[in-house]
Amino acid sequence: MLLPLLALVQVITSAPPVYDGRQGQLAIRVPRVAAPVPLDAPLDAFVPAIASGRGAPRHHVLHAPGTAGFDDVYDNFFPQASSQWDSLGHVGYGPDAFYNGATGDDVANGRRNTVEHWARHGIAGRGVVLDLVRTMADAGRPYEIGTSATFGVDDLERARERAGVEFRPGDILLLHTGFAAWYMAQAPGERYRVARAMSTPGIASGEEMCRYLWDAHVAAVACDTFAVEAFPPAFGEPPPGGFLHRMLIGQFGMALGELWWLEDLAADCAEDGVAEVFLVSAPLHAPGGIGSPPNAVAIK
């Protein structure tokens, strides 16, 4: 296969980026050649799907015996059954109150807030890895992954400091909780229990968290857990508490990513001490799409 040749001639890699002073110019010094780190789990990684109603796609390989060709097709492909971006049409602040004034009808008919709007631009920017697994272990506060373990602002701050980074506007936060890997490693019986209970770790809801994320002006929060926020939330509580999606998507217009595969990236960051990456993501160009696989790689 010829693609390995790419590994020898990486155009761009980076150690901590060095700003070279000229206005609008940024030089990226490359101390080593590295391969991109993919961040999508397999399409069928989460079986059973944690959200009822979703499931792994049904894949048909098409082949006429005796010929030299194959084709394929997918049915029952839920973009949110595995690693995903939530579009701005996935959750609103309230019924008929979606981000930036879009109505339920706008979303249902793919006029506004759906995923193709991101696909037409692509996503490329600075990713910052906050490794909650290692941070909480170092702090002597390990947590049980198959529960609604909750990370507050102070925990995120601890992780940010451990990562040695400052937030910049437009950052994409990558939160490593360990959930995806843990879920995939459980026996079917335990996975069914977790799926039924939908108890998964994540960040806290409430005003403090909302202010923290807004003030950082992060463009997106992606993670390897089910819902970004600890789940299940207190659905009945009013915002800015309760279901945090209503604020982050419905009010802030943040891109939320869930069930990403962050084990390899987190291990790499632990090894070289570098927690910032060039994050590139090309969501499916899906008209009217509500979710999409991230189709994301981290380059560092």
Site for its own copies in 204-233 (CB under 8 A): 217-220
- Taking CB under 8 A as the criterion, the residue among 83, 148, 177, 199 binding its own copies is 83
> In a 3-state reduction of DSSP, which class is residue 214?
helix
The H or E element containing residue 196 is: helix 188-197
In whole angstroms, the minimum distance from the beta carbon of 142 to its own copies comes to: 29
Residue 138 CB, nearest approach to its own copies (Å): 28
179: how many CB neighbours lie within 10 A of its CB? 26
Q: Considering the complex, what minimum distance in angstroms separates the CB of residue 87 from its own copies?
A: 8
**Mask of contacts with its own copies, 270-299, x by CB under 8 A?**
--------x-xxxxxxxxxxxx-xxxxx-x
Contact with its own copies (CB under 8 A) among 46, 50, 92, 176: 92
User: 3-class SS at 131?
Assistant: strand
Count residues contacting its own copies (CB under 8 A)? 123
CB of 17 or CB of 142, closer to its own copies: 17
Q: Does 193 sit near its own copies (CB under 8 A)?
A: no
CB of 226 to its own copies, least distance (A): 14
Instruction: Pick between residue 54 and residue 162 the one whose CB is nearest to its own copies.
Output: 54
> Token digits for 55?
């499931």
3-state secondary structure of 166: coil
Among 16, 50, 68, 230, binds its own copies (CB under 8 A): 68
d(CA 104, CA 98): 7
Contact between 44 and its own copies per CB under 8 A: yes
Is residue 146 within the footprint of its own copies (CB under 8 A)? no
Task: Find the helix or strand (DSSP H, E) in which 274 lies.
Answer: none
Amino acid at 138: D
124 to 155, 184, 275: CA distances (angstroms): 27, 28, 16
Please identify, using beta-carbon distances, which residue of 110 and 139 lies nearer to its own copies.
Answer: 110
Q: Please identify, using beta-carbon distances, which residue of 149 and 222 lies nearer to its own copies.
A: 222
CA dist 46 and 195 (Å) reads 10
Other CB atoms closer than 10 Å to residue 299's CB: what's the count? 18
